[in-house]
């Protein structure tokens, strides 16, 4: 029969609105978290990171929130613009030279 | 170069042929990763090199896949007897030594789009 591939979760927002992208991470020992943005045809690009001794970190128009109790990470984008349309990935690192492990990604679509 | 460079950017091959994908990391970066990304999906970890340590090959999907890193710099990912399900974008990334806090940020190349006919 026909095989169906997995589809990324999609978040659609109006231009100018705030976006919130969520990520559940897997390992309670992870001490470093990072968000990447991937535009079509390009490799992922760094957006913002946070260590486990923090619960919030702000960048330019972006904020990352970390809730270690429920192992949840979120990326907030203020005043979303068309150029923000991309796939967003969270990643975690357990420290001590371990590799980054990526989440499945969320497709953000900005509607004009 | 200033960033991670991958070649070729596109590769079309016939089922059963071998392919080699190349990655030039950022100079001075001791950690190098290979990831695979199928259409509309996330990043699937393949293999990770960290300095002179034995590589972490835990993500390689079969023994048809192998990678090496010569002189701690350039890496080659080899896929033998390619199958149609190997079609994907193969991404390479590098970082500074992961054993030092603050170096975990990965810098990605643009990837190699592999199409197996």
pLDDT at A3 over 90: no
Q: End-to-end distance of chain B based on CA atoms, in angstroms?
A: 33
pLDDT at B72 over 90: no
Q: Which residue of A has its CA nearest to B58?
A: A99
Q: What is the C-alpha separation between B85 and B65, in angstroms, rounded? A: 13
Q: What is the C-alpha separation between A39 and A88, in angstroms, rounded? A: 9
Q: Which residues of A touch B84 (CB under 8 A)?
A: none
Model confidence band, residue A2 (pLDDT cutoffs 50, 70, 90): very low
pLDDT at A30 over 60: yes
Distance from CA of B18 to the nearest CA of A (A): 24
Query: Could you report the per-residue pLDDT of B33-59, keeping only the tens digit for each?
Result: 999 998 877 788 999 998 888 899 999
pLDDT for position B38: 87
């Amino acid at each position: 029969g026909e095989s169906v591939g997995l589809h990324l979760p999609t978040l659609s927002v109006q231009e100018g609105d705030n976006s919130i992208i969520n990520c559940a991470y897997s390992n309670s020992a992870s001490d470093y978290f990072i968000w990447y943005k991937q535009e079509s045809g390009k490799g992922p690009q760094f957006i913002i990171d946070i260590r486990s001794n923090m619960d919030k970190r702000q960048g330019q128009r972006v904020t990352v929130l970390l809730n270690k109790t429920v192992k949840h990470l979120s990326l907030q984008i203020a005043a979303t613009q068309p150029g923000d349309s991309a796939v967003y990935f969270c990643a975690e690192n357990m420290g001590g030279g371990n590799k980054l492990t990526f989440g499945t990604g969320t497709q953000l679509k900005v509607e004009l | 170069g200033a960033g991670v460079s991958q070649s070729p950017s596109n590769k079309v091959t016939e089922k059963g042929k071998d392919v080699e994908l190349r990655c030039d990391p950022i100079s001075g970066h001791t950690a190098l990763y290979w990831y695979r990304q199928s259409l509309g999906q996330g990043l699937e970890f393949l293999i990770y090199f960290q300095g002179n340590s034995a590589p972490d090959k835990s993500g390689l999907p079969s023994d048809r896949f192998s990678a090496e890193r010569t002189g701690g710099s350039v890496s080659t990912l080899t896929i033998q007897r390619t199958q149609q399900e190997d079609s994907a974008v193969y991404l390479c990334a590098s970082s500074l030594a992961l054993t030092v806090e603050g170096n975990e940020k990965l810098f990605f190349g643009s990837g190699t789009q592999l199409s197996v006919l």
